[in-house]
Amino acid sequence: MRTFRIVIAGHGTLPAALLSTTELICGPVADAAAVALEPTESPDHYAESLRDAIGHDGRRVLVLCDLLGGTPFNVASAIARRSPRVVCVSGASLAIAVEAALADGDLDDALVERLLEVGRSGIVETERHRARRAS
Amino acid sequence: MSLRLVRIDDRLIHGQVVAGWLRALGAQRIVIVDDAAARDEFLREVLSLAAPSGVPVEVLDVAGGAARCIDLATSQEPVIVLARSPRTVLALRQAGVPIEVVDLGGLGAGPGRRRLHRTISVSSDELAELRELEQLGTRVEIRIVADDRPIALRSVDPAR
């Protein structure tokens, strides 16, 4: 059983869509939330929403962000720097979200490394991928 | 030579900046002029985390920022200079930084603030500072993302 919470942080409708699409692939994802940054929302207001979604119960939380340097990431990484129980990953994709949703156990270093690897290895171009597979 | 673009954005580095403006300007360096951030090590670190790898972020106070910007204005290096408020940019201009265009990229709404265009709102002090920048020969434009057609301050200034 996964012991940590998942929060998807991003711009506009992406977080909710990423969460619902993850559920399309792996079924209902328990203990997960999507927090959308709306176009006119201030970073401070977004930080409040994100903190609420992260929760105040001391449990570990994985925050998956859509864009390095975007406000959701900036706010999440500021929270993560101050709070060791929060891990902030940017470049979230369906592959990473599925891997996180299906994870078993704790949000430890090994899992974080695996999430990053799943994200990186999921980025291919067909021809180059084929050439590499064939060699 | 003068700085091609100084952007006023109360979020400093965020999605529109990293995904749009860096590419549009071909900038490989971000200079942030902000007294509060320059004093705050935590804020400086968070700001530097926001930039893509290989793009250094310099966070300077107004005095240090003015010297650095004058330096950068004479070099050919494309940079993006970010400030949180019109006051900071006016201070840079008054300190002798040559600035061709000031871009209003993000100034949030709030009590006592008048909306000029979409996500751009100003206080009466800020409006006065922007007008002063124009008097000093710096063009003030609203351009939220790089693809937007620039809107001159003049055309949305409520006093005109």
Residue bearing the bigger pLDDT, A42 or B123: B123
Shortest Cα–Cα distance, B59 to chain A (Å): 15
Axis-axis angle for helices A71-82, A43-54 (nearest 10): 50
Dist CA B81 CA B5 (whole Å): 7
Q: What is the mean pLDDT of residues B115-135?
A: 96
Dist CA A51 CA A44 (whole Å): 11
What are the chain B neighbours of A71 within 8 Å (beta carbons)? 11, 14-15
Please report the pLDDT score of residue B138 as a whole number: 95
Please report the pLDDT score of residue A76 as a whole number: 98
Check whether A29 has a pLDDT greater than 70: yes
User: ipTM greater than 0.95, yes or no?
Assistant: no
Mean pLDDT taken over chain A: 96
Please report the pLDDT score of residue B3 as a whole number: 84
pLDDT digit string (tens) for B64-98?
999 999 999 999 889 999 999 999 999 999 999 99
Q: Domain residue spans in chain A?
A: 5-134
Please report the pLDDT score of residue B5 as a whole number: 81
Please report the pLDDT score of residue B1 as a whole number: 67
Dist CA B1 CA A22 (whole Å): 51
Check whether A11 has a pLDDT greater than 80: yes
Domains identified in chain B and CATH numbers? 6-156 (3.40.35.10)
Please report the pLDDT score of residue B104 as a whole number: 97
| pTM across the whole model | 0.87
At residue A130, φ and ψ (nearest 5 deg) are -65, -45
Strand A61-65 versus strand A5-11 pairing type: parallel
What are the chain B neighbours of A70 within 8 Å (beta carbons)? 14-15, 18-19
Mean pLDDT taken over chain B: 94
A19 has which bridge partners? none
Nearest to B18 among A69, A77, A78 (CB): A69
Nearest CA in chain A to B13: A69
Dist CA B47 CA B71 (whole Å): 22
Q: How would residue B160 be classed by pLDDT, with cut points 50, 70 and 90?
A: low
Output the CA torsion B143→B147→B148→B151 (10° steps).
Answer: 60
Contact criterion met (CB < 8 Å) for A69 and B15? yes
Nearest CA in chain A to B44: A78
Check whether B158 has a pLDDT greater than 90: no
What are the chain A neighbours of B59 within 8 Å (beta carbons)? none
Strand B101-106 versus strand B6-9 pairing type: parallel
Nearest CA in chain B to A77: B46
Low-confidence winner among A55-69, B18-32, B52-66, B88-102 (lowest mean pLDDT): B18-32
Domain A5-134 has CATH 3.40.50.510: yes
Dist CA A122 CA B6 (whole Å): 37
A33 has which bridge partners? A7
Strand B151-152 versus strand B139-142 pairing type: antiparallel
Contact criterion met (CB < 8 Å) for A69 and B14? yes
Please report the pLDDT score of residue B159 as a whole number: 79
The one-letter amino acid at A107: L
Please report the pLDDT score of residue B33 as a whole number: 98
Please report the pLDDT score of residue B116 as a whole number: 95
